[in-house]
Amino acid sequence: MDYVVLFLEKISSFLNEPETLKLFINNRFLMICLVIVLLKIKYTTYSNIYLSALVNIFGTLLHEMSHFLVGLFLNAHPSRFDLFPKKQGGGYVMGSVGFQNIRFYNAVPASLAPLLLLVIGYYFNIWFFKNIHVNYLNYILYLFLQTIIIENAIPSSTDFKVAFSYPFGVLFYAFIFVFSVIYLI
């Protein structure tokens, strides 16, 4: 019994050394491994719709809220907001937002609005490392939150179909993007 306590104390003192913590946080390989483990745990819940909904609710809320807010701002008239998963085809739809006024000028931004979550993830990263004293637990929490934010920033295939169903809108926003890159940056 004394050996177990001694062993645990040695591990605890090793983990609490600042150099060990720095090695843990600055190790990109370990970070990628932790993210993959988090994603694997998440994907194992996909066999049960209720467990999957529970695990994905925060990310689904962020994703769908971005559609809703951009659609509201650009006069797309959001008419339906759903966070509960539904079986569709061979899989599940985790959430959805319906619009009544999709036009060329609002289809692309309303459909691709989850990409704005990348900006939130970027500023969360800056804020976290400036304001939080990093330890193992809150670093793993940071990785978990960033994984949720970045994973849900990717528009779905339906989002891309809606965005690219208005070719004039795609050209319009492509022109704005090219103009801003050439003249403003």
Q: Is the model more confident about 22 or about 174?
A: 174
Q: Is the pLDDT of residue 118 over 90?
A: yes
Is 3 domain-assigned?
A: no
Tokens of 126: 């800056």
Query: CA of 165: how far to CAs of 104, 113, 150, 170, in Å?
Result: 9, 16, 25, 9
Residue 63 — very low, low, confident or very high, per pLDDT cuts 50/70/90?
very high
Whole-number Å distance between alpha carbons of 125 and 145: 10
Among 26-35, 142-151, 152-161, the minimum mean pLDDT is found in 26-35
Residue 143 — very low, low, confident or very high, per pLDDT cuts 50/70/90?
confident
Q: Is the pLDDT of residue 72 over 90?
A: yes
How many C-alpha atoms does 15 have within 13 Å on its Cβ side?
A: 10
Name the amino acid, one letter, at 43. Y
- The stretch 65-80 carries a mean pLDDT of 94
β strands within the chain, DSSP E: 78-82, 86-88, 91-93, 96-99
Q: Is the pLDDT of residue 75 over 80?
A: yes
Note whether 150 and 117 are within 8 A (CB).
yes
Whole-number Å distance between alpha carbons of 4 and 142: 31
The pLDDT, as a whole number, for residue 69 is: 96
Is 14 domain-assigned?
A: no
Number of domains in the chain: 1
Residue 185 — very low, low, confident or very high, per pLDDT cuts 50/70/90?
low
Is 124 domain-assigned?
A: yes
Is 12 domain-assigned?
A: no
pTM, two decimals, is: 0.81
Is 5 domain-assigned?
A: no
The pLDDT, as a whole number, for residue 98 is: 92
Q: Distance between the two ends of the chain, CA-based, in angstroms? A: 65
Q: Mean pLDDT over all residues of the chain?
A: 87
The pLDDT, as a whole number, for residue 6 is: 75
Q: Give the residue numbers spanning the domain of 180.
A: 20-184
Is 9 domain-assigned?
A: no
Describe the crossing of helices 136-151 and 18-26 by its angle, rounded to 10 degrees.
Answer: 10
Is 25 domain-assigned?
A: yes
Q: Is the model more confident about 183 or about 131?
A: 131
Is 26 domain-assigned?
A: yes
Whole-number Å distance between alpha carbons of 3 and 23: 27
Query: CA of 50: how far to CAs of 41, 55, 90, 97, 171, in Å?
Result: 15, 9, 16, 20, 41
Helix (H, G, I), strand (E, B) or coil at 103: coil
The pLDDT, as a whole number, for residue 1 is: 59
